[in-house]
Structure 1
Amino acid sequence: MTQSLKTINLSFCKLTFANNYVISEINQGVVLTKELFNEAGSVLFDHFKENQKYVHIAYRRSDYNVNPVDYINCSDYPNMLAVAIVTNTEAKRSTANFEKAFFPKPYEIFNTLEDAVSWVENNIQNL
């Protein structure tokens, strides 16, 4: 795995940045809304400068909820090429598959963080 460059803790999550991806770990019990997407978005815009492409890896270790309609707003993040979801439970995998229908960019689901990072590093040029 590529060594992280920096970690930022927000009120609802931790963001760990590498050269071409960010790993988010949302806190237990959070309802992820457009407002929280925007809070994280300001940090993403600061880190990934204009035209710097990246993939968002959502490391789902905690239980939280996402308003799937808010995925429609991902066009607000033009540098984000794709999303990789990491989960190792069937319930979270089922939720991720449901959310995939609302996401207009490439969206892959993985069992391990290592698999997701490997996918990003091997596919970033083709996304």
Structure 2
Amino acid sequence: MGIIKYIEREDAEIFIFDNFIINQVKEGVVVEPEHNDLLNKIVQKHFSGKDMVYISNRVKSYSVNPLIYPKTEAIPNLVAIAMIPKTATMRKNAEYERQFYDKPYEIFDSLTDAISWVQSHLGKRETSEVK
């Protein structure tokens, strides 16, 4: 489960692994629906035809327009989102955002817990698809 690629952008750091992405948005950014265009390009380039999960490692303070989620949900092979909020306020924001996303969306206390859930979630999906 080694890192495949690292992308440094003005607004975020993106770590691409075999079956998930870890995104760390930078301080003060406002995440808008247009951010999905880049996410979709990355997903299609690195995960074409393969289920994957988006992990948001919220270590900095930034804002998310919840209208981003319907467009995120439309990315075909993005099957779930995991959030790791750093503070209680960030956790409340993540809980609020959850209502805008209809696929699996979980909130974790650590990156380790989120990655474990990703592996378990994707494993269960593969098992159910085989049946």
Q: TM-score, normalised by structure 1?
A: 0.92
Higher RCO, 1 vs 2 (CA within 8 Å, ≥6 residues apart): 1
Give the residue type in structure 2 aligned to 1:120.
V
The 8 Å contact of residues 33 and 67 in structure 2, kept in 1 or not, is answered as no
Query: What is the alpha-carbon distance in structure 1 between the residues aligned to residue 84 and residue 24 of structure 2?
Result: 10
Q: Which of residues 80, 85, 102 in structure 1 aligns to 2:78?
A: 80
Q: 1:89: Cα distance to partner?
A: 1.2
Query: What is the alpha-carbon distance in structure 2 between the residues aligned to residue 63 and residue 5 of structure 1?
Result: 27
Percentage identity across paired residues of the two chains: 31
Aligned length: 125
For the pair shown, which has the larger CA radius of gyration, 1 or 2? Answer: 2
Q: Which of residues 97, 100, 103 in structure 2 aligns to 1:99?
A: 97
Map of 2:67 onto structure 1: 69
Map of 1:23 onto structure 2: 22
Q: 1:5: Cα distance to partner?
A: 1.4
Q: Secondary structure at the match of 2:67?
A: helix
Give the residue type in structure 1 aligned to 2:102.
P
Q: Secondary structure at the match of 2:23?
A: strand
Map of 1:126 onto structure 2: 124
RMSD (CA atoms) = 1.2
Give the residue type in structure 2 aligned to 1:108.
E
Q: 1:88: Cα distance to partner?
A: 3.0
> Which moved further from structure 2: 10-19 or 51-60?
10-19
Instruction: Establish whether residue 32 from structure 1 lines up as the match of residue 24 from structure 2.
Output: no
Q: 1:78: Cα distance to partner?
A: 0.7
Unaligned runs of 5+ in 1: none
Query: What is the alpha-carbon distance in structure 2 between the residues aligned to residue 91 and residue 75 of structure 1?
Result: 24
